[in-house]
Structure 1
């Protein structure tokens, strides 16, 4: 018999894998190591990853975030500037060289792979079709690898159906790394139906972490009353996880950046809550959310493991002589502020 002070029960289905991927881990390491090696300030062009908690933590360590290189004061042109994990157009490092800036490129190796795939299509005389979201930094960076007019952006199946290519018989496609696997498959199917000769990239463009996190959510969403995705509104991979949860059977799914954003007044106990995190969301926020549930409910956590990730991308060689302390590693891994 439940006493008046007993907490009502609640189940959390906790997805694994979730949170930081190898590319995000590497990008954060690059900024932390640059600060240790060169001291503050270290400039970072654009958010290093799409998470305000991470950005604030790096800002407190001495990182200065800018949107364009001209924002770096002339007296600081000897300071390092880091390019974000999303990648940049070719014009950005060219601009850095023209300004005599020392830059460190933290582009995720899997994004760099898409750049190379797009350039390979072009070298072979193909018009490049990029499946992605307009305005996303990764899309801007990928399109910026090739001359203007060499790439056409397709966002939806409707775009694929109405697309009029400049070279109908000679095309190749690549995709943004953080898209919905199912949505992208539909778009590519429409392109292949209309243009049977269109060439696929030599390897899958959507990254392993995006695929793994979507599969984990898909496997656990059915039967959940609420599915929470930890991530930022400008994080493409996080927003796709919300969509996947809804399609896979969650009664409700929403994006949250902190525990305070959870609609606590709607929860009375007995619910089944799904919980995952986008590839740029730190584990410390997931822990904060689980703790917040524990304060209100008698929580049972069911760990749903659908894949094991052991990928590791080494940092730039110029930074490998710098050691990371235990505190540094806790921050890099998303386990500390």
Structure 2
């Protein structure tokens, strides 16, 4: 058989609550204050989302010097360092923080334990904005480890008060392996009460673990900069399936589907459903006739918006 006949959709897939909230913050700020709204770093790591917001009047910057005085500034979902927060305040911007609340939880934990004299080992990817934001909560005392080999090399100043934190979008399996190495080397290390890897990352990886054995090929919708999307593709490949990540339907190649009967399809937490639907249409054009949704966890998490952007309550009537 030369063409796929069925598409199996992972559940859950696509946008998580933190991404929904971050995009809504930019859109509400544009509606309330008008364009331009400045955003430090891509609000979420997805090309389509960023281009859509640019078209509506968002301007994405890396350097705060590129933002005019008095402008409205949004911090991206990945979080920022203390130095960036302080510089933004000093420059007098009107600031809305779209940092995912699950990333903020890690920042709060780091600040709290640092006051108690703790040093930290952070499991994460060097250069990722979330890692830079978390490590930037302190001037020093956070040691980054990217793999098991790094654990053997890390040299904290003391080991009596040592805690571990994790980037929220890592491979659950990789993080578990590195955490085990950290525990083996530092048996008394303090671990978070709940793991730092976010519920959405965990759920999407679990869905790919269920999906992969049932299909001949896995397609992940996500942008190259998206950590959690990259992890989904790697996981499918590790489970023995050919796996490709695409930013849009245009990147699909007919030759990938040669001899493939069933295609598994998922999307990273920053990839909108409109892109998934476009991929489905393109695979249908190659011959697929059926689309089936897997059983999966239904996510009901919703995070509140910052105060200045919530919908105004209607005026109260009657007695106060």
**Interval containing the TM-score (normalised by the shorter chain):** over 0.9
Pick from 223, 236, 255: which aligns with 1:232? Answer: 223
Query: Structure 2: which 5+ runs fail to align?
Result: 314-320
Shift of 1:124: 2.1
User: What do the CA deviations read for 1:95-125 (whole angstroms, capped 9, x no partner)?
Assistant: 1121111111100000000111222221222
Would the aligned equivalents of 2:254 and 2:286 in 1 still touch at CA under 8 Å?
Answer: no
Q: Which residue of structure 2 lines up, in the alignment, with residue 98 of structure 1?
A: 90
Would the aligned equivalents of 2:106 and 2:134 in 1 still touch at CA under 8 Å?
Answer: yes
Q: Which residue of structure 2 lines up, in the alignment, with residue 222 of structure 1?
A: 213
User: What do the CA deviations read for 1:121-141 (whole angstroms, capped 9, x no partner)?
Assistant: 212221111110000000000
Q: Which residue of structure 2 lines up, in the alignment, with residue 40 of structure 1?
A: 35
Would the aligned equivalents of 1:23 and 1:108 in 2 still touch at CA under 8 Å?
Answer: yes
Q: How many residues align?
A: 313
Would the aligned equivalents of 1:223 and 1:249 in 2 still touch at CA under 8 Å?
Answer: no
1:97-176 alignment runs, 5 A limit: 97-147=89-139, 149-176=140-167
1:205-220 alignment runs, 5 A limit: 205-220=196-211
Does residue 201 (structure 1) correspond to residue 195 (structure 2)? The answer is: no
Relative to structure 1, is the Cα distance of residues 79 and 226 closer, same or farther in structure 2, using a 3 angstrom cutoff? Answer: same
Would the aligned equivalents of 1:43 and 1:81 in 2 still touch at CA under 8 Å?
Answer: yes
Relative to structure 1, is the Cα distance of residues 157 and 97 closer, same or farther in structure 2, using a 3 angstrom cutoff? Answer: same
TM-score normalized by structure 2? 0.94
Partner SS for 2:294: strand
Would the aligned equivalents of 1:36 and 1:322 in 2 still touch at CA under 8 Å?
Answer: no
Would the aligned equivalents of 1:33 and 1:322 in 2 still touch at CA under 8 Å?
Answer: no
Would the aligned equivalents of 1:117 and 1:202 in 2 still touch at CA under 8 Å?
Answer: no
Partner SS for 2:103: helix
**CA–CA separation in structure 1 for the residues paired with 2:57 and 2:306:** 20
Does residue 68 (structure 1) correspond to residue 53 (structure 2)? The answer is: no
TM-score normalized by structure 1? 0.89
